[in-house]
Amino acid sequence: MGVVRVTSGPTVIVRKPLAAKGGRARRGSSGSEDDDYGVRKGKDDRVYDSDDSDNEITDDLVGDKRKVFEFLNTSNMNELSLLSGCSQKKAEAIIALRPFKGWLDMVEKFNSSKALSTELLNSTQELLSTRNNIQRLMKKCVGLAQQLEAAVAAGAGRLKQPSTLDPSLKLAPYQLVGLNWLAVLHKQGVSGILADEMGLGKTVQVIAFLAHLKETGQAKGTHLIVVPASTLDNWSGELERWCPSLRVSKYYGHPEERRQLRVEYARGLDSIDVVLTTYTMVSSCPEERKMFRITPMHYVIYDEAHMLKNMSTQRYDNLLKIKSKHRLLLTGTPLQNNLLELMSLLCFVMPHMFSGKTDDLKSLFQKNSKVKATKKTNGTNDSVEDEVPAFEQSQITQAKRIMKPFVLRRLKRDVLQDLPKKTNHTELCSMSERQQNLYKNLIAGFSAKDGTIHATTEQSGISMMMDMRKLANHPLLLRYHYDEATVKKIASQLVKESGYKEKNEQYAFEDLLCLSDFQIHKLTLEYPSIRSYSLPDNLILDSGKFQKLDEMLPRLQADGHRVLVFSQFTMMLDILEPYLAIRRYRFLRLDGSTAVTDRQDLIDQYNTEDIFVFLLSTRAGGLGINLTAADTVIIHDIDFNPYNDKQAEDRCHRMGQTRPVTIYRLLSSGTIEEGIYQVAQEKLNLEKHVTGADENEATEQKNVVRLLSAALGLTSPNK
């Protein structure tokens, strides 16, 4: 082959490809593939080598070269941005240079462009190699999934309730199906995900399964159950109630108590069937991480397994290292159309398939995150390029197909025909006159003269939205009542109090300026010298939602209902407490700061005593606890994530409930809360209508901008 001189750009010498060192042909050009998944391309394997000034380039398109050429010639902005070292600007430059007539033409154009480097050719090869590894893994997984599906179909429905369960308690028919499904998975030697809707008794099905393993001699060691702290006592109580013959050890308590337990465990676990602990405990210190890493467990059961939906986190790595023969994941929320989540769960339930290959997966997801972060920064979320890449979408479809036999999900409406009806109401609450005026002034302060949002950073936009949410709930969540002059007087008295640490009056003044009205009010109740500055009752009652509660609570109490009130904000619960006291209602409270050892006592107290209201934080009180003594739920302030609110609802709408349940969501009319509610409903629709949307940080930021724009009157809430 002769020498070709290109008149524009650098000289390119074309010869037949040389053999690589050691006599091997370049695999990058020959089209052969690595036998081992995850093997990276070495120097001799790369499709482009710029080490020599005398570059050897052919126009032959075979093997990796053809794939790289086709990718760069046809991929959209979203796909190109996944390349290592390829910014959005570089992706635009590649698209501007297309079409490429051949490999030579592409190399020449890359060399001629100031924005591009030929190293992007090797980056493309690396990305395609990673994708190829994932595709081959997924094909192997499909075969295993098909085998499991056949085994489940053939082996279901044979087991009855284990005899070691309390005979006075009976598994529901669908729970027996769950037990049989778990038994088939165990027989096949694979892990699984029990994803029944919240309130269907996943805890009980797991206990029945562990009882079955022990009863039939299949329990080959101790099991570990890892749960959120808020459900630890509930799990302990259910284990004792349903199967008292299971010997349970709670790994929890102060550091010294846990150290003693580690010493006992080191001597052997023969006398223990189940170790029950929390997510914090399994990774809170190096000694604990090491203990769970080296102590062999038969089953490790992860409750609320959404903790395992991101393989890029340190928590995921720590949990993955816990030594066990089998894994069982429990979650009440459906699997999302999110490749990171699906692959993270696949890696967890099929660890032998993905052993040593997670680097490829993490690499791909880091690139995806980079694209989303770039688009978020540049404000391009609404472009046509915001679609999920074709490769990712195809893998989502395949991952969901693979996951199917590994996941059992039933909905209450399908299996609990006798469960009392649940009715949802959205209550629009007019703000109080003072609250409405304050909200209008807040909006005016956030709206710039040119009709744009007066926020300079993403963080300031989120802060603005949070202030709007607070004011929509109660004015005392911000500072309006205590002006600077009053705060200065309070500071001058406060520094004289022996129990107050800050003795510098100016510093105390500055600290107080950062507090809300209710936080300052709490200080006035704590220190006698400033008690005269405490808030009058009329300001505590001055909220549109409290006025709505004044309509609802007397009627609910008169009709014999009992009420759970949920709020996301512990400070809102702080304000609800004096409100209920002023109105003379008996109540209890549980939030994230409630000691784990006290939580079950509070739940038992509410379930057995005639207490009208239970105040709960949405996150701490919405997970895995049973409050069927109540039949009414009031969501004081809704969550961006509707599944958090649904979990809260299911504290009383679950097995054991004998009365119809009513859910009330309070929304302050004409505020940002109406937009938040609309976004939440859209998320719920994702479960019914598969759209391929990737519900994570980029989408969340898009929602923030949309909600702020609507709240400030710059756009319609529907846009």
Q: What is the CATH number of the domain that holds 293?
A: 3.40.50.10810
Domain boundary among 536, 553, 582: 536
- Residue 542: what pLDDT? 96
Classify residue 702 by burial, with Cβ atoms within 10 Å: 0-12, 13-18, 19+. Answer: middle
Task: For 142-154, write each residue's pLDDT tens digit.
Answer: 777 777 777 766 6
User: What is the pLDDT, as a whole number, of residue 337?
Assistant: 62
**Confidence tier at 629 by pLDDT (50, 70, 90):** very high
> DSSP class of residue 205?
H
Instruction: Answer whether the bond into residue 99 is a cis peptide, omega within 30°.
Output: yes
**Residue in the block written with tokens 């956030």:** 446
In-domain check, residue 439: no
pLDDT at 687: 53
Query: How many contiguous H segments (helices) and E segments (strands) does the chain have?
Result: 30, 13
Give tens-digit pLDDT for 358-374: 665 655 555 554 444 44
Of 111, 132, 153, the residue that ends a domain is 132
Q: 719: number of CA atoms within 13 Å, CB side?
A: 9
The answer to whether residues 586 and 611 touch, using CB atoms and an 8 Å cutoff, is: yes
| Residues 240, 171 within the same domain | yes
Instruction: Mark whether 206 and 325 lie in a shared domain.
Output: yes
Backbone angles phi, psi at 193, to 5 degrees: -130, 115
Residues 77 and 226 in one domain: no
Residue 219 lies in a domain: yes
- Quote the mean pLDDT of the chain: 81
CATH of the domain at 114: 1.10.150
User: Each residue of 323-354: b (16+ CB within 10 Å) or e?
Assistant: ebebbbbbbbbebbbbbbbbbbbbbbbbeeeb
Question: Is 582 part of a structural domain of the chain?
Answer: yes
Domain shared by 239 and 253, yes or no: yes
Give per-residue pLDDT as tens, 484-510: 999 999 999 998 988 888 889 999 999
Q: What is the pLDDT of residue 37?
A: 36
Top pLDDT among 47 and 537 is at 537
Q: Across residues 577-602, what is the average pLDDT? A: 92
- When pLDDT is averaged across residues 452-464 and rounded to a whole number, the result is 61
Range of the structural domain that residue 529 is part of? 448-536
**Count of domains for the chain:** 4
* CA-based nearest residue to 631, from 683, 581, 557, 524: 557
- Give yes or no: residues 43 and 190 share one domain: no
Q: DSSP per residue over 542-553, as a string?
A: --HHHHHHHHHH
Residues 218 and 73 in one domain: no
343-352, 428-437, 460-469: segment of lowest average pLDDT: 343-352
What global pTM score does this model have? 0.66
Do 127 and 176 have their domain in common?
no
Q: Are residue 199 and residue 317 in the same domain, yes or no?
A: yes
- Whether 173 and 209 map to the same domain: the answer is yes
Residue 391: the pLDDT is: 66
The reply to whether 443 falls in a domain is: no
Residue 689 burial by CB count (10 A; 0-12/13-18/19+): exposed, middle or buried?
Answer: exposed
pLDDT tens per residue across span 325-340: 999 999 887 766 666 7
Half-sphere exposure of 109 (CA within 13 A, CB side): 19
The enclosing domain of 688 has a CATH number of 3.40.50.300
pLDDT at 367: 52
Residue found by looking up tokens 């590649």 in the block: 94
Residue 360 falls inside a structural domain: no
Same-domain pairing of 655 and 692:
yes
Is there a domain that residue 192 lies in?
yes
Residue written as token pair 């297309």: 98
Domain membership of residue 461 (yes or no) is: yes
Question: Which of 172 and 685 is assigned the larger pLDDT?
Answer: 172
Exposure on the CB side of residue 373, measured as CA atoms within 13 A: 8
Mean pLDDT for the stretch of residues 188-193: 86
Sheet harboring 274-278: ordered strands across? 248-250, 274-278, 223-227, 297-302, 324-330, 192-194, 407-408
Given 275, 303, 333, the domain boundary residue is 333
Indicate whether 425 and 573 sit together in one domain: yes
pLDDT of residue 697: 42
Residue 690: pLDDT above 50? Answer: no
The per-residue pLDDT for 376 is: 44
Give the full edge-to-edge strand order of the sheet including 632-635.
Answer: 422-429, 661-668, 632-635, 563-567, 613-617, 587-590
Query: Distance between CA 36 and CA 286 in Å, rounded?
Result: 34
CB count, 10 Å around CB of 549? 27
pLDDT per position as a tens digit, 152-161:
666 656 789 9
Q: Tell me what the mean pLDDT of segment 244-268 comes to.
A: 94
Does residue 402 sit within a domain?
no
Residues 373-406: tens digit of each pLDDT: 444 444 444 443 345 566 667 667 767 777 777 8
Cβ pair 665, 425 in contact under 8 A:
yes
648 vs 624 pLDDT, higher one? 648
Same domain for 579 and 670, yes or no, is: yes
pLDDT exceeding 90 applies to what percent of the chain?
Answer: 44
